[in-house]
């Protein structure tokens, strides 16, 4: 299992059906945690970017790294 | 400060036994509104409050209307706490709530993700997720202690986060969205 740090953006409208969440979660369902910890009052930031910690297998990490919407900062 | 659960009793409690501030096995007649039901232990004594769509059914707490959000709360008089329950499907455990506009929610999105959501001023923010598989009557543990927020689902680590948001709010409870949702063996104890 890989641990990686990924820059993504907030998506959603804040409703329960469409909550504010990482764009990455819209494409991949995996273990994530928002490590930027921006206060709700500061969401959505400008520019719209924040960092999440993810845990995933190598094939999923390869897909995320190749996805132009995301920037993989580091892999443990 | 003495534990409020021990006030008024001289019965010693073994060090390794949990001291429940709230305990509810939802043992009551079918159809009784949860807000009219008396928990097994309720140290504050305020009982359940919130949605009147939640009723006792087969000694579990269930919602009788589909496809909307319903919250029921109870006040344990503390905000650093451990909430435990056995849950079905997309039920959510709510903690550090002040009304239903500001709270933390541990709950599944459907079939694949367990999510930790912050609700602030009525807006929802997904702060942490884990993949999961639904298990009938799975035990869930939701622990909020200081700024640490952790969880387990069926014994496996669930979403976790660090935040001081809503840290002093005390209301704790259950979020319903479907009539198939049910909760049982709901307890609250102080975090250690």
Q: With respect to residue A51, please indicate whether it lies within any of the assigned structural domains.
A: no
> What is the predicted pLDDT for the residue at B109?
80
What average pLDDT score do residues B34-53 get?
A: 97
Instruction: Select the residue of B120, B124, B159 nearest A16 (Cβ to Cβ).
Output: B124
Chain A residues inside the 8 Å CB shell of B122: 14
Chain B residues inside the 8 Å CB shell of A16: 69, 124
Q: Residue B138's domain spans which residues?
A: 20-190
Backbone angles phi, psi at A59, to 5 degrees: -65, -40
What average pLDDT score do residues A54-73 get?
A: 96
Angle, CA of A52, A54 and A58, to the nearest 5° = 140
Give the count of domains, chain A.
1
Asked if A41's CB is within 8 angstroms of B125's CB, the reply is: no
Q: With respect to residue B93, please indicate whether it lies within any of the assigned structural domains.
A: yes
Partnered with residue B56 across adjacent β-strands are B61
Instruction: Select the residue of A15, A25, A41 nearest B126 (Cβ to Cβ).
Output: A25
> What is the predicted pLDDT for the residue at B17?
79
**For the whole prediction, is pTM greater than 0.80?**
yes
CA distance A3 to chain B (A): 13
B159 touches chain A (CB under 8 A): yes
CA distance A33 to chain B (A): 4
The 3-class secondary structure across chain B, one letter per residue, is CCCHHHCCCCCCCCCCCCCEEEEECCCCCCCCEHHHCCCCEECCCCCCEECCCEEEECCEEEECCCCCCEEEEECCCCCCEEEEEEEECCCEEEEEEECCCEEEEEEECCCCEEEEEEEECCEEEEEEEEECCCCCCEEEEEEEECCEEEEEECCEECCCEECCCCCCCCEEEEEECCCCCEEEEEEEEECC
pLDDT at B1 exceeding the cut of 50: no
ipTM associated with this complex: 0.94
Give the count of domains, chain B.
1
Instruction: Select the residue of A14, A29, A32 nearest B124 (Cβ to Cβ).
Output: A14
The size of the A-B interface in CB pairs under 8 A is 57
pLDDT at B137 exceeding the cut of 60: yes
Q: What share of chain A has pLDDT > 90, as a percent? A: 88
Q: With respect to residue A53, please indicate whether it lies within any of the assigned structural domains.
A: no
Q: Report the alpha-carbon distance of residue B54 to residue B60 in Å, rounded.
A: 10
B29 touches chain A (CB under 8 A): no
> What is the predicted pLDDT for the residue at A43?
96
More confident residue, B181 or B25: B25
> What is the predicted pLDDT for the residue at B42?
97
> What is the predicted pLDDT for the residue at B7?
53
Q: Residue A71's domain spans which residues?
A: 1-30+59-76
Are residues B61 and B26 in contact, defined by beta-carbon separation less than 8 angstroms?
A: yes
Q: With respect to residue B130, please indicate whether it lies within any of the assigned structural domains.
A: yes
pLDDT in tens, B60-118: 999 988 878 999 999 999 999 999 999 987 889 999 999 999 999 999 887 788 999 99
Q: With respect to residue B5, please indicate whether it lies within any of the assigned structural domains.
A: no
What average pLDDT score do residues B139-148 get?
A: 97
Q: With respect to residue A46, please indicate whether it lies within any of the assigned structural domains.
A: no
CATH of the domain at B35: 2.60.120.560
Chain B residues inside the 8 Å CB shell of A21: 125-126
Q: Report the alpha-carbon distance of residue B48 to residue B26 in Å, rounded.
A: 11
> What is the average pLDDT value for chain A, to the nearest integer?
94
Q: With respect to residue A49, please indicate whether it lies within any of the assigned structural domains.
A: no
B154 touches chain A (CB under 8 A): no
């Amino acid at each position: 299992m890989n641990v990686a740090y990924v820059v993504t953006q907030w998506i959603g409208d804040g409703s329960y059906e469409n909550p504010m969440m990482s764009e990455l979660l819209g494409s991949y369902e995996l273990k994530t945690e928002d490590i930027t910890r921006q206060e709700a009052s500061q969401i959505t930031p400008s520019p719209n970017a924040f960092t999440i910690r993810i845990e995933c297998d190598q094939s999923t990490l390869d897909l995320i790294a190749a996805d132009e919407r995301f920037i993989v900062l580091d892999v443990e | 400060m003495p534990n409020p659960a021990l006030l008024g009793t001289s019965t010693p409690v073994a060090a390794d036994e949990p001291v429940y501030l709230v305990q509810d096995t939802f043992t009551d007649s079918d159809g009784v509104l949860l807000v009219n039901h008396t928990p097994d232990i309720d140290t504050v004594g305020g009982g359940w409050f919130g949605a009147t769509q939640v009723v006792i059914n087969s000694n579990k707490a269930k919602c009788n209307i589909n496809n909307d959000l319903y919250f029921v709360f109870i006040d344990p008089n503390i905000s650093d706490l451990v909430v435990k329950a056995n849950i079905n499907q997309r039920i959510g455990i709510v903690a550090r709530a002040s009304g239903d506009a500001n709270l933390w929610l541990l709950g599944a999105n459907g079939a694949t993700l367990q999510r930790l959501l912050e609700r602030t001023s009525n807006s929802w923010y997904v702060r942490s997720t884990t993949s999961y598989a639904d298990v009938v009557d799975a035990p869930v543990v939701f622990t909020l202690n200081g700024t640490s927020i952790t969880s387990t689902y069926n014994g496996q680590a669930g979403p976790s986060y660090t935040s001081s948001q809503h840290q002093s709010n005390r209301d704790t409870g259950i979020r319903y969205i479907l009539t198939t949702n049910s909760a049982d063996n709901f307890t609250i104890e102080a975090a250690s």
